[in-house]
Amino acid sequence: MENIDDLKKRLEVLGDKIREVKKRLPAHSVKPHQLMSLFELEDEYDDVLLKIRKIKQGQQGGRTTTTT
């Protein structure tokens, strides 16, 4: 199982890559492969974020906190 520090580092790297891809996107006529690249990075970012949340939830003894 991955530890939370490694996952946070991966999240940071993915965030940097996403920002870089978005900077390179043209204002018009975006090619499908450019969008697919962005979507794949965003999906991986979401997966890593979910893993972090699950680890944190497990560290809290399975308790969920709600904020209003």
37-47 pLDDT, tens digit per residue, is: 999 999 999 99
pTM beyond 0.75: the answer is yes
Let me know how long the chain is. Answer: 68
CA neighbours closer than 13 Å in the CB half-sphere of residue 53: 8
CA neighbours closer than 13 Å in the CB half-sphere of residue 58: 9
Cα separations in angstroms, 5 against 2, 43, 45, 52 = 8, 20, 15, 9
12-46 pLDDT, tens digit per residue, is: 999 999 999 999 999 899 999 999 999 999 999 99
